[in-house]
């Protein structure tokens, strides 16, 4: 599922292949993914616009356009952007001025495309917590001290800190040796600092390896990301912990599958 690293990779690759190009036309294969305006207006308004800037905020991808509007894309779980288009489950094709298609694919139709005046004004964006790379360890510690929620759902809460999803929450907690059910304010200063470091390191490594292709995520080229083989706990239920050989456990936490080592993570 695309989390911060995967969306960041897509952003960087789109900068290489789509930035500065004109959208000459749009084909809507499934209007459900277009949340605003109406699919008809979406098509008409986008046609003829040039992609001026590409941004990421949390897990949201933003294409700024030559008329001042933005195309905001949230991939949710199974969204893909593929260029040149060739994927399956193509919901919207953007025809570019180079004669090729940038395809938006989404198997499960959860993703959301919005053509809007001001992406920063989106309610979702307004509610986002800070990017992990925009705060200091000190700030992170203070943020945690105010919370007694379980640590894993907390770091996945986009209004608390943004960009971390189920995979990287599990990986960062494992690396910091913190049990996912610990109350946030029960962490020592040392643990808080370590968790903050491991969150950032995990995200950085994932970016370096072009993301985790669990389920549907692929790079813009259609190639899978290479980070799954570095996962230490996610998806490894019943397998030996890579550090202590105890069997990795899976529990449900906040309705999400949560993988951890019962021996390493206290």
Partner DNA sequence: AATGGGACCTGCGCGC
Partner DNA sequence: TGCGCGCAGGTCCCAT
Applying CB under 7 A, which residues contact DNA?
1-3, 32, 58-60, 74, 76-78, 89, 107-110, 123-124, 127, 146-150, 153, 156, 158, 165-167, 215, 250, 252, 254-257
**End-to-end Cα separation, the chain, in angstroms:** 27
Please identify, using beta-carbon distances, which residue of 49 and 87 lies nearer to DNA. Answer: 87
Which member of 59, 69, 182, 249 is catalytic?
59
User: Pick from 102, 88, 94: which is nearest to 10 by CA?
Assistant: 102
Concerning whether 256 is annotated as a catalytic residue, the answer is: yes
Query: 91: helix, coil or strand?
Result: strand
Concerning whether 2 is annotated as a catalytic residue, the answer is: yes
Concerning whether 59 is annotated as a catalytic residue, the answer is: yes
Which member of 2, 5, 39, 153 is catalytic?
2
Please identify, using beta-carbon distances, which residue of 130 and 254 lies nearer to DNA. Answer: 254
Q: Min. distance of Cβ 94 from DNA in angstroms?
A: 21
10 Å Cβ neighbour count for 173? Answer: 27
Strands of 83-175, DSSP E: 90-96, 101-106, 112-116
Please identify, using beta-carbon distances, which residue of 109 and 242 lies nearer to DNA. Answer: 109
Concerning whether 3 is annotated as a catalytic residue, the answer is: yes
Instruction: For residue 236, give every residue at least 6 positions away whose Cβ sits within 8 Å of its Cβ, in sequence order, or none.
Output: 248, 259
DSSP run (H or E) holding 137: helix 137-145
Query: Cα 29 to the chain's mean position, in Å?
Result: 24
Query: 204: helix, coil or strand?
Result: helix
Q: Min. distance of Cβ 96 from DNA in angstroms?
A: 26
Please identify, using beta-carbon distances, which residue of 76 and 100 lies nearer to DNA. Answer: 76
Q: Min. distance of Cβ 158 from DNA in angstroms?
A: 4
Q: Are 176 and 159 in contact (CB under 8 A)?
A: no
Q: Are 156 and 256 in contact (CB under 8 A)?
A: yes
Q: Min. distance of Cβ 11 from DNA in angstroms?
A: 14
Which residues are part of the catalytic machinery?
A: 2-3, 59, 256
């Amino acid at each position: 599922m695309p989390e911060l690293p995967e969306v960041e990779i897509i952003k960087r690759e789109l900068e290489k292949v789509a930035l500065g190009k004109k959208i000459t036309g749009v084909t809507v294969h499934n209007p459900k993914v277009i949340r605003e305006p109406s699919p008809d207006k979406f098509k008409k308004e986008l046609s003829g616009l040039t992609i001026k800037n590409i941004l990421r905020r949390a897990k949201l991808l933003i294409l700024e356009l030559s008329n001042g509007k933005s195309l905001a894309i949230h991939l949710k779980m199974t969204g893909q952007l593929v260029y040149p288009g060739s994927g399956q489950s193509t919901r919207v094709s953007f025809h570019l001025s180079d004669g090729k298609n940038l395809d938006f694919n989404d198997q499960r139709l959860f993703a959301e495309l919005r053509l809007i005046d001001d992406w920063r004004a989106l309610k979702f964006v307004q509610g986002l917590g800070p990017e992990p790379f925009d705060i200091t360890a000190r700030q992170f510690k203070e943020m945690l001290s105010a919370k007694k929620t379980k640590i894993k759902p907390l770091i996945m809460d986009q209004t608390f800190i943004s960009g971390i999803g189920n995979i990287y929450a599990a990986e960062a907690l494992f690396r910091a040796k913190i049990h996912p059910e610990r109350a946030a304010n029960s962490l020592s200063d040392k643990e808080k600092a370590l968790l903050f470091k491991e969150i950032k390191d995990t995200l950085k490594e994932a970016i370096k390896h072009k993301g985790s292709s669990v389920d549907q995520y692929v790079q813009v080229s259609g190639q899978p990301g290479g980070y799954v083989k570095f996962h230490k706990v996610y998806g490894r239920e019943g397998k030996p912990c890579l550090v202590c050989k105890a069997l990795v456990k899976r529990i449900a936490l906040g309705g999400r599958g949560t993988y951890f080592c019962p021996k390493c993570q206290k």
